[in-house]
Structure 1
Amino acid sequence: MNETSRRILDHFQVRKTKKQKEEFRKYIIHELNQYGYCPSIQHKGINNNIIIGNIEKAKIFCTAHYDTQAVLPFPNLIVPNNLFGLILSQLAIIICVLILIFFMNIVLIQLFVWIGLFKNIELNIASSISWLIIMIWMLLGKANKHTANDNTSGIITIIESAIKLPEDLRDEVCFVLFDNEELGLLGSSAFAKEYKEYLKNKLIINFDCVSDGNDIFFFPTKQIKNDQSKHENIINAFASTDYIRVHINKGFGFYPSDNFSFKYAYGVCSLKKGLFYYLDRIHTSRDIIFNEENIELLSDGVCKLIKTTHTSR
C-alpha cells in the first residue's frame, strides 16, 4: 500500500464535519497532483464530490463515498443477499432501537416530572422526543473515530487504483469520491443528475465496506443482472485467490449504497460467512479491520478491467 493510502488510514479516518471533509479533500487533491492527476470538486448544494479523471471520455466510473457516520451503540448489521437473513437483521436493529427508546422514555418522563416541566407527561410525547434525540444523534452525534471498513477501505481502493493505473489508460476511467452517502446517497444522486448525459450506458463500480471479510460480492443493479458478458469481465479482472473469494450476486441482493443512484452499476462489499453472508461492526468503534489483501485484489482488478476495456475497443 502506498504512502498516500497509509496516511489516509492513519490520519484521515474521521471525515464527518465540514472542516474534516475539507482537510481530507485538500490532502487528496495535493497527493494526486503529484501523480499527474488534476482532481476537481463538484459543488452541488451541501455536497462536495471529488472527481478524479475526465468525465466526458471515461468508459467506466469507479466510486466510493468519503463521508463518515456518528458512532452508534450497536452495529448496522447487514445481510444483503438472503431475504430471510435481511429481514431478521433489520428486525434485530429495530428491536435494539425500540429497547433504547423504552429506556429513554423512562428517563425523560422522570426528568420532566422532576423539573416540573410536566406533571404527567404522556408516553407518545416522550417517544416522539426520544425519536428526535436519536435522529439528531445519528446526524450530529460524536463522529466515529474508527472507519477502517466504512468507508476508508473504499476510498483507499480508489486511490490505489488511480495511482497504479498507467497514464495511457487514465482517460478510460473516472474515479469519484462521493459526499453525504450517510445522509441518504445525496452526493451520488447530485452527481448522477448533473452528469446524466455522460453516464448514459456507462458502467459504475461502487466500493463500500470492502476490507472486513474474505468474500467479496459484486451486487449488480437490475439493468445488468442478466448481462453475462459484464459478469465475465468482472470475474476475469477480479480473480479469486486462495484466501479471498469473489462472487457475482445473481439471486436476491440488496446492498444499500451509492450504486443505487445509477442504472448500470455494481455495489461492491466484503462479507463474512456464517449462517448467512453478513456485514457487521460498521458505525461502531469496532470498525478497525483493514485487510490489505482485499484492497490489493480490488485495485489490481480495476486496472486489469480498464486495460481489458481499452484493448477491446
Structure 2
Amino acid sequence: MDIRTLALERCPIRFGGRRKQRFLKELDLIFEEAGYPSHTLEKRGFRGKTRNQIYAFEKTAKLYIAVPYDTPERLFWHKSEYYPLDGNRSLNKNMLATYVPALLFYALILLFVMLVTPQVDDLILQVIANLAVLGATLLLMWLLFHGVANRHNANRNSSAVIAAVDFMRTLDREQKRRIGFVFVDRCDRRCPGAELLASYFEKQKKNPDIIWLNCVGDGDTIGIGYRTHGKRLASSLNAGKKPVTGMLFDMNGNRCLQTVMNYFDKGVMIAAGTVDAKGSLLVRNTQLSKDRQIDESMIAAICELLKKAIPRK
C-alpha cells in the first residue's frame, strides 16, 4: 500500500471512530509487511474511545517515533495560526476562531427565544419552536465537545504519517528492532492519547527516547522542540549540515501545555513551519480547507534528520 494514497486519498479524514479504524487496518498491513509486531492501547473516555497503535519489538526498542494520526476539527474562521512547539500561544491565538462562531450561534438562539417565540400564539407552533430551540442548543453543545471533521489535512497530520512510514522503510532488520513507531489518537486539547501512551510506558517501567512528528509537510524551517531531559537528543538532531534550516525550541513551562509533550519530559518534537516575529515556529492553514499541500523535499529532509537518532548497537 502506498502511504500517500492511504493518508491523502483513501483516509484523508481520521476524525470519527470508524474512519480511524479503517485507517489503522490499512496501516497494520504496511507495518506487518515490514516485519513489525503490533500492539493496541485503548481507553474509553467522555469524548469517546482513544486508540493508539504501537509497532515495535518492545523488548529491544530504545527509540520510538510517535505520530498523531488523527486529524483536527474544522475551524469556522478565515485563518488559523498553529504553534506546534508552543501550546500555550497556539491556544491563545486560536481562541477567537474556536469560540466566537459558537457564541454567535448561541446569540442567534437567544434572539429567536426572545423575539420570535413570544410572537407565536398557536400552541402547536410554540411546541415546534421550543423543540427547534432545544435541538439547536443540543447541537451547539455537541459541536463544542466534539467538533466537526476538517476535510483536508495534508500537513496536519498526514505529513507526519507519511514521513514516519518513509523513514521506517529505510531501516534494516537490526535498526527495526531498536526503533519502534506509535500512532497516537486524540492529540488535541488535553491530549488523552499521549497521556495513555505515557501511562503505558510507566506501567511497563520503560523510559525510552521518543520523537514526535507534528506538521512536517511545509515551511522553510525545521523546529526541534525539547523538554527537560530531551535537550541532548534534540541537540544531536540539530547538529551538522541539514538540507533545511533547523532551530531548537525549549518546550518547558507553559509551552508544553495543550501538547503531547506535556506528558514526556524526555521527549523531542519535530515540526516544520516559518519563524514569526516573536521567534516562534508558526504553521498556517491547518484546520481549514486550505490544508492541501505537502512539500516532498521537506518530508525527505525530515527522514534524513531522523537518521541521526538511530540508536547504536
- TM-score, with structure 1 as normaliser: 0.80
In structure 2, the residue matched to 1:184 is 190
SS in 2 for 1:210: coil
Structure 1: segments with no counterpart, 5+ residues: 119-128
In structure 1, the residue matched to 2:32 is 33
State the Cα deviation string for residues 227-264 of structure 1 (Å, max 9, x = none): 4xx34421248x421xx212222487825432222120
For the residues of structure 2 that align with 1:43 and 1:105, how far apart are their CA atoms? 35
In structure 2, the residue matched to 1:93 is 94
| 1:106 lines up with 2:111 in the alignment | no
State the Cα deviation string for residues 268-312 of structure 1 (Å, max 9, x = none): 211213424412211111111211112112123323421xx21xx
In structure 1, the residue matched to 2:309 is 305
Q: 1:275 aligns with which of 274, 277, 287?
A: 277
| 1:50 lines up with 2:53 in the alignment | yes
Structure 2: segments with no counterpart, 5+ residues: 121-134
For the residues of structure 2 that align with 1:257 and 1:82, how far apart are their CA atoms? 8
For the residues of structure 2 that align with 1:140 and 1:30, how far apart are their CA atoms? 30
**Within-5 A mapping of 1:158-307:** 158-182=164-188, 184-196=190-202, 198=204, 200-225=206-231, 227=232, 230-236=233-239, 239-241=241-243, 244-250=244-250, 254=255, 256-276=258-278, 277-306=281-310
Name the aligned partner's letter for residue 107 of structure 1: L
For the residues of structure 2 that align with 1:288 and 1:231, how far apart are their CA atoms? 29
For the residues of structure 2 that align with 1:54 and 1:103, how far apart are their CA atoms? 51
For the residues of structure 1 that align with 2:163 and 2:157, how far apart are their CA atoms? 10
CA gap 1:99/1:260 in 2 versus in 1, 3 angstroms: closer
For the residues of structure 1 that align with 2:40 and 2:70, how far apart are their CA atoms? 15
Please identify, of 292-301 and 95-104, the stretch whose mean Cα deviation from structure 2 is larger.
Answer: 95-104
Name the aligned partner's letter for residue 290 of structure 2: R
Give the superposition deviation at 1:91.
Answer: 4.9
For the residues of structure 2 that align with 1:194 and 1:81, how far apart are their CA atoms? 24
Q: Are the counterparts in 2 of residues 164 and 303 from structure 1 also a CA contact under 8 Å?
A: no
Give the superposition deviation at 1:3.
Answer: 2.2
Name the aligned partner's letter for residue 41 of structure 1: T
For the residues of structure 2 that align with 1:106 and 1:138, how far apart are their CA atoms? 15
SS in 1 for 2:75: coil
State the Cα deviation string for residues 106-135 of structure 1 (Å, max 9, x = none): 3112211313499xxxxxxxxxx9998666
SS in 2 for 1:234: helix
For the residues of structure 2 that align with 1:150 and 1:57, how far apart are their CA atoms? 30
For the residues of structure 2 that align with 1:166 and 1:136, how far apart are their CA atoms? 47
| 1:115 lines up with 2:117 in the alignment | yes
CA gap 1:131/1:220 in 2 versus in 1, 3 angstroms: farther
% identity of equivalent residues:
18
- TM-score, with structure 2 as normaliser: 0.80
| 1:67 lines up with 2:70 in the alignment | yes
Q: Are the counterparts in 2 of residues 208 and 257 from structure 1 also a CA contact under 8 Å?
A: no
Instruction: Supply the RMSD in Å over aligned alpha carbons.
Output: 3.1
Q: How many residues align?
A: 290
For the residues of structure 1 that align with 2:186 and 2:298, how far apart are their CA atoms? 24
